[in-house]
Structure formats: C-alpha cells, structure tokens
Structure 1
Amino acid sequence: MTAPAEAGASAGLAASGGGGRAVAFFDVDETLIPAKSMVAFWRWWAAREPGLLPSIDALLARAREEGRRAEVNQEYYRAFAGIPVTEFLAVGREWYAEYRTGRDAFVTAALAALHEHRAAGHAVVLVSGSHRACLEQLAGELGAERLLCTEQVVGPDGRLTGGVVRPMIGEAKVTAVRAFLKESGIPAGECFAYGDHSSDLPLLSGVGRAGVVGEDPVLLEHAERFGWRRLSARTGPWFPGGG
C-alpha cells in the first residue's frame, strides 16, 4: 500500500461541476482530534467535581465487549440525567477551552485538510457520535456550518433526562448526511468525507471522495482499492487556516 498522504498533499478539491456547493464531512474523535471526546470530557469533569460521576473505567471495559456498544452508549448518557442542560453545555465550553491548548490536541493532517476545504469554498460539516457539549466550541473554531451529533433529550424543567434522540454512530451517520444533502440539494458525488475507523465506512462510501486518517486496516483496504486519500494520524497543536 502507498504511504499516507501528508498535510499538504492534493485532495482534488474542486467540485465535480454539478452546480451544488461541495461539502466536506469530518468525523471528529481520532480524526480531527486524537482524543475520544466523550471520555476526555467525563474524566475532566469527574476530576473537577469528585463524586459527581462514577468512574468511567468499568463502562469502557464493557464497551470493549462485542455487541455492547449501544448499551454502553446509553449508560454514558444516563449518568448525566438531572443535570441542567445549561450547566452541561457550560462545562463543555470550559473543557474544550482547556483541551484545545494542548500540544497534541489535534490531528494535524486532518486539520490541514479541513482548512484546505474551507479555502476552496467548501462547506464543512462535523459528523460525530459525541455530544454537543464536547463539540460546539470545536465546530465554531473550525468554521463548520453544521454539527451532526448525538442530541440529548432535555425535559420541560431544562434538565437532561439521560436519553438521546438517536446515537450518531455507525449507519446513523450516513443517514444524517443523506438527510442533510437532500435538504441542501447537493449531490453526494460532489462531496468529501474523512474518518478513522471501520465504523465510518458507510459515511466514506456514501460520498464522491473519501479520506482515511490513520491505519485502520479495513479503511486502508478500501483506500487502496478506490484511491482514497490517506492522512497521517500525527498530532500537534492548533494552527489557523484559510477560509
């Protein structure tokens, strides 16, 4: 297989000429940032307010068991039941403000690719199984025009119920992308998508051009077969881009 493309490699960024504005869809965790944002957010908040949340380690251990991903995802969100949504989002802003200053807070090649797309006039949309508290500030800083993520249910009292509208994982990502494109009137063939894990395969296969971040063997096989762009997963600090 060919070597991963570096940050400055050409991505063929021009739209295909169908008349719609091209969209670049980016997964977030381990694609744009090396962290699993839901886990990092939990650990940060638990350390700041001991006793508020249980240890996440047992939950992560269950997540590694085959077939328990959806169940564990539900348990994660139930842990925040009763917390005012305004507080939850405020803590997310505080977490990201600290996270973004890290020397290895971003995947540099993917961040550069996002800047390339914005400079080319493409819309950027983030697609993530994480939640809005982790992602809103990141989306704003990256200039994303839409955030497709797991949305939590808020009760009439303004508190989180512990439920979600729909976990944005696996096939749900490509379903959300298709709905967005239908609403926008943009052909999928004019669009781009980037991901790091085999669970992103439906998303990557659902657009005209795809990019693989890192070394997932399933995605690398498809990259070799279809000529998808390959990006290094090397990390570094935030840097601004054009667009």
Structure 2
Amino acid sequence: MGDTTLTSSDVGIAFFDVDGTLTTSSTMHSFLRYYVTRLNRPESEYLDWVRTCAAMNRQGHPRELINARYFAHFAGADPVQVADLARQWLRTELCAGGFYHEPVLTELRRHRRRGDRVVLVSGALSSCLDVLAEDLGTDEICCAQPEIVAGRYTGALAGPPMIGQSKAVAAKAVIARHGAAEADCAAYGDHISDLPLLRVSGAPAVVDGDPELSALARANGWRVLPPIPPAP
C-alpha cells in the first residue's frame, strides 16, 4: 500500500473525497448557508448548525452521526428546487474564486487525461455533488441519497452516511463493477475518517492538515499534497 504509482491496466479508477480535499471549504456548510439565505429562513439556522457541528466534534461524536443530522435541514424540501439551488450555489462559489483546492484539482485532471474513471466519494448532499461532477467532468458519484417520500425530502437518509468505512465499501463496489484491481486505483482524502477509502487503493494521497492522517501517510510512504491555504 506504500506504492504511489499506478500500474498499467485496462481500468484505472481515482476516488476523490470532496470537502477539504477537492474543495477548500465544506460544501455542506457553504450550501446550507446559501440555501437558508435564498429561502429567506433565519441565518440563525445556519449558525446554530455550525455551532452544533463544532460542539459534537469536540465531544467526540462519530462523524457519521454529525453527517446524518445535517440532512434534517432539508426536511420537507422539494428535490427539484434543491437541485436548482445547488446549481446556482456552485455558480456563485466559482465566481468568488478559490473554491477548488488546486493541487487536488490538478490530480483530478491528470487522471482524466490518463483515461482513468474519476469518482467522487462524499458525505455531502447529492444535489451538490451532481453539479460538482458536471462541472469537473467526473464519471460517478458515491454518496448517501436523502430519503424522499411523496416527492419531498424527509430529512433522513435512505442509507448509511457516506463516511468512514462506508466509503471503502462503496469504492470496492465500483472497483468490482468495472473489473479493476485495487492496485490500479488511486484515492485522495484529508481526514482520518478517509483512511478506509485510502487503504482500498494502490496509490493513496493525503491533503496535509489532519495530523493523525498526515503522520500515517508519511509513515506509509504515501504522497502528501499541500494543505489548503488559510482563508483570506
């Protein structure tokens, strides 16, 4: 697993975590703020979520639990409207600049030039991932789908959050479906919760920032990419 070069094969797959890896900020936080603003809901809804998220992290709650709670904000929402707002949100972020983490974006483009299959693996909202995949020209998305009943989001997920071990399970399913070999796959992440995904691939790469994950990466001879620059 310390090998950081892909071998020659018919099928190569590159898996990319999104928040903090491919993007310089949390798409989940960013989109929620945009969403509540556009719907004229009180900004306190967003601020309360940020505080709750930070408190749960400090208290050691599993990321899976924190991630699942996020989707409660969309209870009762029309999926078509959410998808439209996600498209507008991404346009706003791209116009502002600095949205993508350039070292990882360079890697993604390199894999596309090679002809590798590029897959986003993220716990973020599927509507946001859809527009990111369209903008980046990626091939596939692995994420948990929000539950829909009678044409509305319930605020729950239809499956487990796409965090931790779930990412590895999803990646292995993609590898099997396309007849690839794990040794011929690459994976990119930024947090210790991405470790199961990284271990699936023959060429793991880590965005420097999480001390625990960065230490493991260096100990295993994995590539360590530059950290996300501080926000202006």
TM-score (norm 1): 0.85
The match for 2:20 among 20, 30, 43 is 30
| Cα offsets for 1:101-123 (capped at 9, x unmatched) | 22221111000011111111111
Structure 1 residues 69, 78: CA separation in 2 closer, same or farther (over 3 Å shift)? same
For the residue of structure 2 that corresponds to 1:130, the secondary structure is coil
| Cα offsets for 1:46-93 (capped at 9, x unmatched) | 222232672323432333221253333332212211111111111111
- Most deviating of 40-49 and 112-121: 40-49
For the residue of structure 1 that corresponds to 2:87, the secondary structure is helix
Query: In structure 1, how many angstroms separate the alpha carbons of the residues matched to 2:195 and 2:229?
Result: 23
| Cα offsets for 1:132-152 (capped at 9, x unmatched) | 121111111211110001211
Q: Which residue of 1 aligns with 2:75?
A: 81
Conserved 8 A contact 1:27-1:128: yes
Query: In structure 1, how many angstroms separate the alpha carbons of the residues matched to 2:209 and 2:28?
Result: 22
Query: In structure 2, how many angstroms separate the alpha carbons of the residues matched to 1:80 and 1:31?
Result: 25
Query: In structure 2, how many angstroms separate the alpha carbons of the residues matched to 1:25 and 1:69?
Result: 20
For the residue of structure 1 that corresponds to 2:103, the secondary structure is helix
Q: Which residue of 2 aligns with 1:122?
A: 116
Alignment RMSD: 1.9
Identity across matched positions, percent: 33
The match for 2:188 among 194, 197, 206 is 194
Which consecutive residues of structure 2, in runs of 5 or more, have no partner in the other structure? Answer: none
Matched, 1:101 2:101: no
Conserved 8 A contact 1:23-1:124: yes
Q: Which residue of 2 aligns with 1:42?
A: 32
Conserved 8 A contact 1:104-1:235: no
Query: In structure 1, how many angstroms separate the alpha carbons of the residues matched to 2:66 and 2:222?
Result: 32
Query: In structure 2, how many angstroms separate the alpha carbons of the residues matched to 1:217 and 1:234?
Result: 14
Q: Which residue of 2 aligns with 1:5?
A: none
Structure 1 residues 68, 206: CA separation in 2 closer, same or farther (over 3 Å shift)? closer
How many pairs were matched up? 222
Q: Which residue of 1 aligns with 2:7?
A: 16
State how 1:143-222 maps to structure 2 within 5 Å.
143-155=137-149, 157-164=150-157, 165-222=159-216
Query: In structure 1, how many angstroms separate the alpha carbons of the residues matched to 2:206 and 2:220?
Result: 12
- Most deviating of 201-210 and 225-234: 225-234
| Cα offsets for 1:203-239 (capped at 9, x unmatched) | 1111101111123222222222222112113459xxx
Q: Which residue of 2 aligns with 1:61?
A: 54
Conserved 8 A contact 1:108-1:233: no
Structure 1 residues 76, 22: CA separation in 2 closer, same or farther (over 3 Å shift)? same
- Most deviating of 165-174 and 45-54: 45-54
| Cα offsets for 1:164-222 (capped at 9, x unmatched) | 12210011000100111111111111100001111111111111011111232222222
